[in-house]
Structure 1
């Protein structure tokens, strides 16, 4: 008898890349600032697109954005912006590219205030994961009061592409929210 986990949330069944992301990352608490920054930028890049569209470009993003070195990204000049806008490996949207730079600058300011971005973002839940225990995909919301609150606070701090829907997806991605359906083998 196989011990391989096979029950998954329905949204990830499209391909192996989606399954790997679901199985190994989504909904699992993340506390590394570089990874938290990566996910913030990728979730913002997703605006108006599918997560799969971003996920298949994830390695290209890492290369284009100096392996998510937010200190470097915060210093990007117009020459680098122009190069990013010509990079076919990422989404070439001027607003999103510029937002990644201003978000790196805001990220650094938050780190200075809170010690780490991790301290800041997890303070909204006192370091605890919210487990919504959804029975079906239809039970998973697109936003919540908490995503509204985080969105407002991030915007106040100068972040862009951080509306409530993006914030909720970010909360799922970094494990602040666990929205794995109840019969998913990857619930923790």
Structure 2
């Protein structure tokens, strides 16, 4: 079975960490708003770091951010911000922590108009990467070009998550809803 070259060239211990994400998550659609929010928070926290760092800390993030329940994170107080800044299980960056909380509040606002974060994404699909980046920068905090690109690739809205020769590529295509086939 052929995989993306990044996976095939990893050492065995690194491959063990990355393989499950590569085979079961990267590029596949997410239909749950809390999981979409989780992926956005993880991508924001990856900025300036390796994805491997985020994979190693994912369980810590889930625990620290109440499993990414949007309503819970949106209601975080200054005490929660302080708790997160002191938590060695996550990336302790004030800007990234503030972005997670404020972005949760933004998603709650988007739900009022669109019904869900997922439906907001669907409403704006398809767009080019540059159009998506402009929309995200206008809507969310701490969402530069690479963060937006990786977030949207990781949930199947932009191409590039897998090489077309990768065994997982066909599975990703099969999992996409009909409205996403052209995008």
Task: Report how far residue 58 of structure 1 moved.
Answer: 0.6
How many pairs does the alignment contain?
164
1:87 corresponds in structure 2 to 87
1:171 corresponds in structure 2 to 152
Q: Does 1:146 align with 2:141?
A: no
Runs of 4+ with deviation above 4 angstroms: none
Give the Cα separation in 1 of the matches to 2:143 and 2:58. Answer: 19
Task: Report how far residue 176 of structure 1 moved.
Answer: 1.2
1:53 match: secondary structure: helix
Greater helix content: 2
The structure-2 alpha-carbon separation of the partners of 1:178 and 1:150, relative to structure 1 and needing over 3 Å to count, comes to closer
Q: CA RMSD in A?
A: 1.4
Which runs of no fewer than 5 residues in structure 2 stay unpaired? Answer: 171-183
1:136 corresponds in structure 2 to none
Answer whether contact 1:9 1:184 (CA < 8 A) is retained.
yes
Instruction: Pick the aligned partner of 2:4 from 4, 9, 29.
Output: 9
Answer whether contact 2:137 2:143 (CA < 8 A) is retained.
yes
Answer whether contact 2:136 2:143 (CA < 8 A) is retained.
yes
Give the Cα separation in 2 of the matches to 1:118 and 1:146. Answer: 18
Answer whether contact 2:37 2:68 (CA < 8 A) is retained.
yes
Give the Cα separation in 2 of the matches to 1:39 and 1:147. Answer: 18
Query: Taking structure 1 as the reference length, what is the TM-score of the superposition?
Result: 0.82
Give the Cα separation in 2 of the matches to 1:103 and 1:109. Answer: 10
Give the Cα separation in 1 of the matches to 2:163 and 2:77. Answer: 43
Give the Cα separation in 1 of the matches to 2:39 and 2:53. Answer: 14
Query: Taking structure 2 as the reference length, what is the TM-score of the superposition?
Result: 0.84
1:186 match: secondary structure: helix
Task: Report how far residue 120 of structure 1 moved.
Answer: 1.0
Answer whether contact 2:27 2:156 (CA < 8 A) is retained.
yes
